[in-house]
Amino acid sequence: MLQSAGDLTDDDLEAAYAYPSEGSWSRLNFVASLDGATADGTGRSDGLSAPGDRRVFALLRSLADVIVVGAGTARAE
């Protein structure tokens, strides 16, 4: 089992998160604190994420055709 996104090269990480070639797919990704919060005290999510989280998140955005962002996130970030 992987302990960190740092265990993979960029190519390996992309292969691990590749979408299947058939059909339409949706994917959800977010970070949360132990108490379920999805933002820090400033309303931003980056305070809850580690560099590996941000690396995976950036990769998922690069693979997606569409990105949906909540209004609060768009205003805060």
Residues 4-47: pLDDT tens digits?
A: 667 788 898 899 888 888 988 888 888 888 998 888 888 888 88
Rg (CA), the chain: 14
Please check whether residue 16 is in contact with residue 8, taking contact to mean a CB–CB distance below 8 angstroms. yes
Helix, strand, coil percentages in the chain from 3-state DSSP, rounded to 5: 40, 0, 60
Residue with tokens 């998160």: 17
pLDDT tens readout for residues 35-71: 988 888 888 888 888 888 889 899 999 999 999 988 8
Residue 51 identity? P
* pTM greater than the 0.85 cutoff: no
**Residue 14 per-residue DSSP state:** H
pLDDT at position 2: 54
